[in-house]
Structure 1
């Protein structure tokens, strides 16, 4: 006779902005009361999360994931040995012992239940279903924002720029974005490379909406600024429709901005040189 076990589980969500409530699933916890057994599996990579939230603090995120996983491992070791766990009747109690219910970036999804004859395997299946399903599959190296800026910098070297780029934080009371490549000419001009060399069309809207939301959030900053988005398209032709939709979303950004495809990088470099030259002449 097959021995099925009742279990409860919850998905761990990373909520980047508690005001908008946007989140990405980052872990799963499974609990079997009968077996006095609990286990968690959390992300050990951050590519999916940073694809959605470009300004993710990756070091802090990794530490949070290690903390959650280690805490549930410790809880499992203690379930059969400590009297303090004798009154636990549900997963809810254990979840909030590790991560109390508050406004932090890690939040628990509503608890669900199931049956399994192999709880370890069930945890793996739940993780694949709710967390890793949308991960970029291993394959060729994708073009990153760092790659884009490295090449654009080479393009700029053919022009006689009169000013240096510098980091600049554009901030409002409750939010900020740091642009790494900026210069001031009456207003701040900020260049931001965005790579859409992705493998899954689901990422396109996520990434475009993230930038729309971030730039909308700082539109009332006391610093006057303009953003130049240098955009890299996908390599696979079948992803072009998703890319076109992403561009349409970026065009809704409510701050002064221009979008340049990476093929137009020389034109953007020329535009930068003209603006710098005009500013330099006005200073004399």
Structure 2
């Protein structure tokens, strides 16, 4: 099976930006040639509270659900959901929040973008 190029960003929870500490909580993968854009995430309250005991974990989950909605073109993703996949990925890879931030864009090759998304979640988020 041929391998195709994809891009991804890791979503980081940064509860206290002044401390420059973060925990990886999700991944967004975009594969233009397969018209693929999706995200997966895991939000472990104990890990997040280790960085900031007062963190609103429900707010972090809500932000991650918003990312899912934008990826999938769902109404709850607002105006960004109506854009093309490439524009949606551009929206998601740009920093918008002080608590949930995308890391740098990385790329790779894969035969199956959906499977690669799950692999990245396991490797980068745990």
TM-score by length of 1: 0.38
Pairwise CA distance, 1:102? 4.3
Q: Confirm whether residue 47 of structure 1 aligns to residue 46 of structure 2.
A: yes
Which one has a larger percent helix, Structure 1 or Structure 2?
2
The SS at the match of 1:126 is: helix
1:69 aligns with 2:68: yes
Matches within 5 A, 1:56-135: 56-74=55-73, 84-85=83-84, 88=86, 93-98=87-92, 100-102=94-96, 104-132=98-126
Distance 1:18 1:122 in 2: 29
The SS at the match of 1:49 is: helix
Following the alignment from structure 1 to structure 2, what is the Cα–Cα distance between the partners of residues 65 and 42? Answer: 7
Matches of 2:94 and 2:73, distance apart in 1: 17
8 Å CA contact 1:18–1:103 kept in 2: the answer is no
Give me the whole-angstrom Cα distance separating, in 1, the residues matched to 2:43 and 2:21.
21
Mapping of residues 260-279 of structure 1, within 5 Å: none
1:55 partner SS: coil
* Residues 46 and 62 in structure 1, CA contact (< 8 A), matched pair in contact too: no
Q: Which entry has the higher C-alpha Rg, 1 or 2?
A: 1
Q: Which of the pair has the greater relative contact order for Cα pairs under 8 Å at 6+ separation?
A: 2
- Hey, what does 1:4 align to over in structure 2? 3
Two-structure CA RMSD over aligned residues (Å): 2.3
Q: Under a length normalisation based on structure 2, what TM-score does the superposition of the two structures give?
A: 0.80
Q: Taking structure 1 as reference, are residues 69 and 44 closer, same or farther at Cα in structure 2, changes over 3 Å only?
A: farther
Distance in 2 (CA, whole Å) between partners of 1:99 and 1:109 is: 8
- Aligned counterparts of 2:50 and 2:19: Cα–Cα separation in 1: 17
Q: Tell me the SS of whatever aligns to 1:47.
A: helix
CA distance in 2, matches of 1:28, 1:39: 8
Aligned to 2:24: 25
- How many pairs were matched up? 119
Conserved in 1, the CA contact under 8 Å of 2:29 and 2:38? yes
Q: Helix, strand or coil for the counterpart of 1:16? A: coil
